[in-house]
Structure 1
Amino acid sequence: MKAMKIKMLPIAIWCLAVAAAIPALATAAVERYVIDTEGGHAFVQFRVKHLAYSWLYGRFNDFSGTFTYDTEDTSNSKVEVTIDTASLDSNHAERDKHLRGKDFLEVDRYPQASFKSTAYKETGFNTSVLEGELTLKGITKPITIEVQRIGNGPDPWGGYRRGYQGSTSFALKDFGIDYNLGPAAREVEMILSIEGVRQ
């Protein structure tokens, strides 16, 4: 009987190891990524019409974020991004000062904007729709982002990356910005170029 117990011990240990591994196997399909802002491979940009004659472009230089991609059930994929609103840059110092002020972003009062996804649906081989909540100037509203997958695969440094581009438009007044820029400038378009490094 004692010999049998000794022989059964390795089997019991193996069973425990398998049982412990089951949760890890169940979540192995979920890939986690950090948006590569450190390497300068991600951009949060915007554009708005100027007097209906041209487009004024700008960007936010400081932001961070993460996303997950579920290879077995892509609808479980998620995105979170936080933006430093004071890092707004439209390539014109006086205009940037105005945009950061009380007429627009009020960055002293609202130093951060954020986006958190609520749903993700692939609509084609390289296209998808991302829904989520944008918080800007302390106001949270749902937005929808049209997404294009640019590519994914290994990088030259032993890592693995995924890259996407997305765009969305929304009315400035929805987020408490009612400064009169003319009827052609009531909406702003956001262009998001995101590259993530798998962790």
Structure 2
Amino acid sequence: MKKHLLSMALSTSLLFGGVAQASDYVIDTQGAHASIEFRVSHLGYSFVVGRFNEFEGDFSFDKNKVSDAKVNVVINTASVDSNHAERDKHLRGSDFLNTGKFPKASFSSTSVVDKGQGNFIINGDFTLNGVTKPLAITAHEIGEGNDPWGGYRAGFEGSTEFALKDYNIKMDLGPASSHVKLDLVIEGIKK
């Protein structure tokens, strides 16, 4: 009997103890330790910059098995903020984000490619203005570790770019304004 119990304990240890598992995190939007910012050329003369003030999400991450990582984010598109009330009203309208019909945008990862030295490509499906298309985010791990409140955190930065027309955004301000760049800073608290 003792032999059987020892054998079972050893098998269980080998099955579960030696396997690193990804940790699950919730994105810290409550503490404002995450941001989604955008930048688009204005007629080729300057840039309109802004952010989405309301979003939520989660991710799973294990630096020893990056390919198993997962990311999910949902954005309240009506929270667009370019620091100009009239422009924001226009951005919420049918020329751009069409927030009355499509109040949410989302990103759900489909794969994560480890590029080494804390760099990744996060591939996923991005939904905006009722259109879903593949999108790749170039990302980098900033760091991870214990926080002063007894929790554990991990932080990343990333960027991507997409054509407005790919998401049925019909407003055309010329070739210089055809693409939007997104910059992301994501800090997660381990669940």
Q: Same fold (TM over 0.5)?
A: yes
> Aligned equivalents of 1:23 and 1:102: distance in 2?
54
CA contact (8 A) 1:59 1:89 kept: yes
Identify unmatched segments of 5+ residues in structure 2: none
Going from structure 1 to structure 2, the CA distance change for 1:23 and 1:63 (only over 3 Å counts) comes to: farther
Q: Do structure 1's residue 172 and structure 2's residue 160 form an aligned pair?
A: no
Q: Does 1:135 align with 2:148?
A: no
User: Aligned residues, how many?
Assistant: 191
**Identity over aligned pairs, percent:** 49
**Deviation per residue, 1:102-129 (Å, 9 max, x gap):** 1111101001000000111121212111
Q: Secondary structure at the match of 2:153?
A: strand
Query: Matched residues in 2 for 1:63 and 1:19: separation?
Result: 43
Q: Distance in 1 between matches of 2:9 and 2:90?
A: 61
Contact 1:41 1:194 in 2 (8 A): yes
SS at match of 1:134: strand
Tell me, which stretches of 5 or more residues in structure 1 are unaligned? Answer: 1-7
Describe the shift of the 1:36–1:96 C-alpha distance in structure 2 as closer, same or farther (beyond 3 A).
same
CA distance in structure 2 between the partners assigned to 1:100 and 1:22 by the alignment: 54
Say which of 175, 180, 193 aligns to 2:185: 193
Q: Does 1:68 align with 2:60?
A: yes
Question: C-alpha distance in 2, partners of 1:156/1:187?
Answer: 40
Asked if the contact 2:20–2:64 (Cα under 8 Å) also holds between the matched residues in 1, the reply is no
Question: What TM-score results when the alignment is normalised by the length of structure 2?
Answer: 0.91
Aligned position for 2:114: 122
The answer to whether 1:59 aligns with 2:51 is yes
> Alpha-carbon deviations, 1:35-79, whole Å to 9, x = none?
000000000110000121111101110000000013432101010
- The 3 A distance-change label for structure 1 pair 24 and 107 is farther
1:38 aligns with 2:33: no
SS in 2 for 1:123: strand
In the aligned structure 2, how far is the partner of 1:131 from the partner of 1:38?
Answer: 26
Q: Point out the more displaced range, 68-77 or 88-97.
A: 68-77
Find the counterpart in structure 2 of residue 84 from structure 1. Answer: 76
Q: Distance in 2 between matches of 1:18 and 1:147?
A: 39
CA RMSD of aligned residues (A): 1.9
Report what 1:98 is aligned to.
90
Q: How does 1:154-173 map to 2 (within 5 A)?
A: 154-173=146-165
Q: Kindly tell me: are residues 26 and 41 of structure 1, through their superposed partners in 2, closer, same or farther at Cα, counting changes over 3 Å?
A: same
Decide which structure has greater helix share.
1
Name the CA distance, whole Å, in 2 between partners of 1:166 and 1:42.
11
- The superposition leaves residues 147-195 of structure 1 with CA deviations (integer Å, 9 ceiling, x where unpaired) of 1111111111111111111000010000000211121000000111100
Residue 150 of structure 1 is aligned with which of 139, 142, 152? 142
Aligned residue type for 2:141? R
Q: Distance in 1 between matches of 2:143 and 2:78?
A: 31
Sort the Cα spacing of 1:177 and 1:17 in 2 relative to 1 into closer, same or farther, 3 A: same
